């Protein structure tokens, strides 16, 4: 039997915590809650959930700081929840490693769908990691510029053998690009392949992560040669010949 996934709701609004607890429980989730970052840290240390729904506007330590802590210490899903007009919070949340973003006021059905989407991505990755590669598999190491991408360990190494830190979403995006060399991919395709959701014109999450990846793998991020922009389409990985 598949274990029931736990969602940790971190919000200082008791009404929101109660609403989400009732709704998500009715739809098959175990729900835990915390009213502050300090309480959430205690819950995370004792029993990490599968997904964290994290409000930005927490008292004391804010949600963005907590998101950074979660990403550094736990391999779990993070969905940032913030006011509809707080574009900066959305961008920073994605930059610190959040998997998705939901604006308040949110539709409960959409939020549930996003939670399920994040869960599916993590479950797929766990299943992939548990499957042992065979000799007939496609190459499990890909040269990305001067770096080496190890698909089995989900790690990136520079030309001196030192590991380059990637968030889960950065790795997923780089893997999708590197396994489709010389093939332009739209933002919609990239979001579908990495997050199982569609792109909208206001969504900058792919551009943000592309910029961060370029800063880690390109010799000159202002003149990218490995991950190139295809005007009017999206992005393309080009095997580097240097």
CATH number reported for the structural domain that contains residue 162 in this entry: 1.10.10.10
CA atoms within 13 A on the CB side of 26: 9
20, 110: one domain = yes
List pLDDT tens digits, range 37-57.
999 999 999 999 999 999 988
* Region label for 196, one of left (φ > 0), alpha (ψ between -120 and 50) or beta (otherwise): left
- What is the number of structural domains in the chain? 2
List pLDDT tens digits, range 195-240.
766 555 556 778 888 999 999 999 888 899 999 999 988 999 998 7
126, 25: one domain = yes
Could you say which of 77, 111, 130 is where a domain stops? 130
Could you say which of 83, 101, 130 is where a domain stops? 130
What mean pLDDT comes out for the span 183-192? Answer: 87
The DSSP H or E segment spanning 24 is: helix 14-26
Torsion of CA 198, 187, 165, 130, to 10 degrees: 50
Q: How far is the C-alpha of 157 from the C-alpha of 65, rounded, in Å?
A: 27
Structural domain for 166, as ranges: 141-237
17, 123: one domain = yes
Handedness of CA 54, 90, 104, 99 (dihedral sign): negative
57, 171: one domain = no
Query: What pTM value is reported for the model?
Result: 0.61
Residue 242 counted as domain residue: no
The DSSP H or E segment spanning 173 is: helix 168-178
92, 175: one domain = no
Residue 76 counted as domain residue: yes
């Amino acid at each position: 039997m598949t274990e029931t996934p736990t969602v940790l709701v971190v919000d200082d609004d008791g009404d929101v915590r109660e609403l989400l607890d009732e709704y998500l429980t009715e739809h098959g989730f175990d729900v835990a809650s915390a009213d502050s970052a300090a309480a959430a840290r205690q819950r995370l240390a004792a029993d990490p959930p599968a997904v964290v729904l994290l409000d930005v506007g927490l008292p004391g330590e804010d949600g963005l700081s907590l998101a950074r802590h979660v990403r550094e210490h736990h391999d779990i899903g993070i969905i940032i929840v913030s006011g509809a007009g707080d574009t900066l919070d959305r961008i920073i949340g994605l930059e610190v490693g959040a998997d998705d973003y939901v604006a308040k006021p949110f539709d409960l059905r959409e939020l549930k769908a996003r939670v399920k989407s994040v869960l599916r991505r993590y479950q797929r990755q766990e299943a992939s990691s548990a499957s042992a590669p065979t000799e007939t598999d496609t190459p499990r190491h890909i040269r990305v510029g001067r770096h080496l991408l190890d698909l089995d360990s989900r790690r990136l190494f520079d030309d001196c053998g030192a590991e380059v830190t990637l968030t889960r979403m950065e790795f997923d995006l780089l893997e999708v690009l590197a396994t489709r060399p010389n093939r332009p991919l739209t933002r919609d395709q990239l979001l579908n392949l990495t997050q199982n959701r569609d792109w909208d014109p206001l969504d900058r999450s792919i551009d943000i992560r592309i910029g961060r990846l370029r800063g880690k793998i390109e010799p000159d991020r202002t003149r990218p040669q490995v991950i190139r922009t295809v005007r009017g389409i999206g992005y393309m990985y080009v095997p580097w010949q240097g």
